[in-house]
Chain A
């Protein structure tokens, strides 16, 4: 429905509205200062940094293995992806080969993590738009995944689930059967979410045409992940620069057409299904073998620097790590957070929309402040 801006009859001044750091729908401590003309957003200034803990500098003073703990705490919703990204970058620096079994299990963990993160996204996004029930349904499924992770590595949120060269633990007996059962349950629950939202007239009215951005502009703005794919750009690190065991699996990357909130929603919903597909293939074809490659006790990559990216549920998470070859800490540790780059696109997406759409858009780009601020 097209809303036309009213012709100015009187001299109106703009209203400055502060969606402060404490806010039920900003998914963390995010502050948005909106400039409104009546109800329309003229401009927005996004203030971040409330959760800045200096992780990059901390990591430059920690052992290579200790850093894995810190990578958990950036994107705390999808910790296994950050773990995986970091370990892969160091393995690339050290040219260590990770055994196939470990690659498969890492892929399974990564995809389970993707489903868990998307469950949280779906729940919070739907709740912000008013459909409270989806929140609880999505968290019910997320609980199942968290149980699987707890059985594997003992933690529900900050997994510390990978090691440089492989994995710390082999999967417990019966875990793969539980994963298969979970996939089966998840398929039917996805049908539930679709029934509640996908063709719901109110959902369509609230998300169609909101925050439209087309492909080339999205690429220039640096968006990544499902936010970019919703605009029709087929960019996925798992397909473009395969890592772990992704080149051995058969899966599709869903892309949208319009680049609005509804398309981003559909993309993520389809990603659920594709992740389940990957997990099934991985669990069925799990090879035997060691779970850790040949890695020295004291990890000291040779001097050099590299940039390596993996596809976290939020987008391309990149690690730029420089080693000076002689100390036990990295010389430079840099994370390229997907939520950070997506969040800077929010200013462009919000313009011209109503205040009630701001929450819909924040949910649509799926940010985690721990990752934005580090």
Chain B
């Protein structure tokens, strides 16, 4: 039986949420006191520090790119900080921002058992100094960040792709890289690419 009543109103499509423009990096609350090494860092390299943040028990310090090596070397060598263990080097991609990459260094001290995160903002091709001389652990970690994000590390002893094949184009973990992979974007003629790669592999093995 045909309905003559008015159809239910179609709900207006909600506007999609705006893309986040950057990490929140909340400031430390009033009742939490800064750890000693942070106070000393402010004294030693106060100009380098852009922001100190505290969230769910983690301290992070945003420093300027130019003074990254100094800050990091200080943190490793200062007796109160003694961050001798580089837990992780990673990056986050915030595309709307000018300096789209957040390169994050998670450091740990085996002596004092405290952690800190150092963050720097880097634009797409902006050179980021490599911390491999300070912690050899950062070798592969930075290689992976270069491979998946395309962060331009300078001074790295072995800057090659790590997880992706050597001749891959593009940096997969960026937000504008499709999840399903490049598809036709990657190669004009897949047969050529395969043939070239086979020739190179054979030459390598011989």
Contact = CB atoms under 8 A, between A and B. Distances in A.
Contact of A320 (B20, B56, B106, B179): B106
Interface stretch (A1-9, A22-30, A187-195, A332-340): A332-340
A56 B173 contact: yes
B119 to A, nearest CB: 9
Q: Which of A54, A305, A316, A343 has the most CB of B within 10 A?
A: A305
Interface stretch (A103-111, A218-226, A275-283): A218-226
A331 B20 contact: yes
A362 to B, nearest CB: 16
Interface stretch (B64-72, B83-91, B191-199): B83-91
B56 A222 contact: no
B165 A309 contact: no
B172 interface: yes
B166 to A, nearest CB: 9
A306 B55 contact: yes
B24 to A, nearest CB: 5
Given A18-B205, A240-B113, A332-B92, A322 B23 contact: yes
B163 A336 contact: no
B14 to A, nearest CB: 12
A52 interface: yes
Interface residues of B, number: 42
B182 interface: no
Nearest to B119: A305
Please give me the 5 A-B residue pairs with the lowest Cβ-Cβ distance, nearest first: A222-B137, A49-B163, A324-B20, A336-B88, A344-B140
A92 interface: yes
B179 to A, nearest CB: 6
Contacts of A326: 17, 20
Contact of A221 (B24, B137, B148): B137
B162 interface: yes
B110 A92 contact: no
B159 interface: no
Contacts of B177: 57
29 contacts: A49-B161, A54-B173, A61-B179, A92-B56, A92-B57, A219-B85, A220-B84, A220-B136, A220-B137, A222-B86, A222-B135, A222-B141, A240-B113, A304-B56, A305-B23, A306-B55, A307-B115, A316-B87, A318-B87, A320-B106, A326-B17, A326-B20, A331-B92, A334-B90, A336-B87, A336-B88, A336-B106, A340-B144, A341-B141
Interface in B99-139: 104, 106, 110, 113, 115, 117, 135-139
Interface in A318-358: 318, 320, 322, 324-327, 331-332, 334, 336, 340-341, 343-344, 348
